Amino acid sequence: MAPGVAAVALFFSCLGLMAYYSFLPSLGMAQVGSGFTLDNYGEFIGDSFNRAYLWRSLRVATYTTVIVLVLGYAVAYYMSFCSPRMRLLISVLLLVQFFTSYVVRTYAIVLVLGRYGVVNETLMALGITAEPLRLLFNEFAVALGIVLVAIPFMVFPIYSSIAAIPPNLLTAAESLGATRLKTFFEVILPMSMPGVAAGVVIVYLFNFTSFITPSLLGGGYFDMIANLIYDQAMNTQEYPLAAATSVIALVLTVAIVYALQKMFAVTIRGAER
């Protein structure tokens, strides 16, 4: 158990050090004073620029998670009832993402959405548009990139839950006269809620803390909270402020995860009844 305990201790030590820095006074670029202050938290909360980053991240993470849930559930449902060969093909296509560099995948989206990318070239060739559309360096590009990258994290938990449903339950529902739609809402959906809960929590955290996708697809025009923390720590080198921003994001994340778990716990208990 020693390696695991050491890893956990290191993890919480880093969090503790970050929290400690958040209460230290800042003396300018890369300069940290001694003592205790709440000025860093007050500076973040009192600055509408910083609050806009936080609100933007929450908003994007929320609606992209909903989109990923709808798309991911559809893929997981199809995987559960398609042929083994098709299921294997879909699984391979999803797993390939985990073996491909995150940066490479994001740049692939740049090639598709760029000024002279596949989408713009197709639209102009069909005469739909006379000039290239601005599909990059905005909220649309960032949201699309986040959705495409996060789908596998939603599909596999939901697929595992649906695949674990005993086939005789579906057969019993059909024998009692239930339509496929009614079987889905009365049997499949309630019993797949544990997978939905796991997928939503994972994807929401992944989307909220996204850094590379907003950095590359936002191009500095649409950043999120992780980009703000990076800028505070690496560019302006305001370490206490960066630490305070990180603590605020961490506490907010924990609160959201707790609320989601409570919400899904109630839903799952209702489905079990």
* 245 to 55, 231, 240: CA distances (angstroms): 13, 11, 9
Q: How far apart are CA 103 and CA 119, in angstroms?
A: 20
pLDDT reported for residue 262: 86
DSSP 8-state code for residue 211: -
b/e code 60-80 from CB counts within 10 Å (16+ = b): bbeebbebbbebbbebbbebb
Using 50 as the pLDDT threshold, list the residues of the chain that sit under it. Answer: none
Collapsing DSSP to helix, strand or coil, 75 comes out as helix
Q: How far apart are CA 103 and CA 120, in angstroms?
A: 22
Residue 29 dihedral angles phi and psi, to the nearest 5°: -60, 120
Strand, coil or helix: 181:
helix
- Structural domain boundaries, residue 126: 2-272
Specify the residue for token string 């339509």: 179
Q: Can you read off the two tokens belonging to residue 166?
A: 């005993």
What is the pLDDT at residue 20?
A: 94
Residue pair 214/222 in contact by the 8 Å Cβ criterion: yes
Q: Which tokens go with 144?
A: 């699309």
pLDDT at 271: 59
Q: What is the CATH number of the domain that holds 53?
A: 1.10.3720.10
pLDDT of residue 40: 92
- pTM for the full model? 0.90
pLDDT 10s digits, 97-143: 888 888 888 888 888 998 888 899 898 988 888 888 889 999 999 99
As for how many domains the chain has, the answer is 1
Over its C-alpha atoms, the chain yields an Rg (Å, rounded) of 23
